[in-house]
């Protein structure tokens, strides 16, 4: 079945440093989504990428979808303490149906 791998598992940064998490799928994806889960909370939808090579920005967050639609990345510029949490990528093999989640990257930001 479809597998989505995410690295790194953990990332500790100093406030102001950049952060990147990477996501790779074993199969070509129809689309990929990113979620953020704060400690003690539930995942919250951030964004969806659909097109090959797509790049989207949300303030300090930049999301990319690979040309082959099998990998994706999330980059945060100048991290803040409010960025702490676990970031999940989630891929969908067909236009509809379930998302397969990566294991997540736990981000810690030291002030």
Partner 1 sequence: GAGVSQSPSNKVTEKGKDVELRCDPISGHTALYWYRQSLGQGLEFLIYFQGNSAPDKSGLPSDRFSAERTGGSVSTLTIQRTQQEDSAVYLCASSSPGTANYGYTFGSGTRLTVV
Residues that bind partner 1 (CB under 8 A): 1, 31, 33, 35, 41-48, 88, 90, 96-104, 106
Please name every residue paired with 110 in a beta bridge, in sequence order, or none if there are none: 14
Shortest reach from residue 73's CB to partner 1, in Å: 18
Instruction: Check if the beta carbon of residue 84 is closer than 8 Å to that of residue 2.
Output: no
Of 43 and 66, the one with the shorter C-beta distance to partner 1 is 43
Of 40 and 111, the one with the shorter C-beta distance to partner 1 is 40
Shortest reach from residue 7's CB to partner 1, in Å: 13
Shortest reach from residue 89's CB to partner 1, in Å: 10
Of 5 and 78, the one with the shorter C-beta distance to partner 1 is 5
Listed in sequence order, the residues at least 6 apart from 82 whose beta carbon sits closer than 8 Å to its beta carbon are none
Of 14 and 94, the one with the shorter C-beta distance to partner 1 is 94
Shortest reach from residue 78's CB to partner 1, in Å: 25
């Amino acid at each position: 079945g479809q597998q989505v791998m995410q690295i790194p598992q953990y990332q500790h940064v100093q406030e102001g440093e950049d952060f990147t998490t990477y996501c790779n799928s074993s199969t070509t994806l129809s689309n990929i989504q990113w979620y953020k889960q704060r400690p003690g909370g539930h995942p919250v939808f951030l964004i969806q990428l659909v097109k090959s090579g797509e790049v989207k920005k949300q303030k300090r967050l930049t999301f990319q979808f690979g040309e082959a639609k099998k990998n994706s990345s999330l980059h945060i510029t100048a991290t803040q303490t409010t960025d702490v949490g676990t970031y999940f990528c989630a891929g969908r093999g067909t236009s509809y149906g379930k998302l397969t989640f990566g294991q997540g990257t736990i981000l810690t930001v030291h002030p």
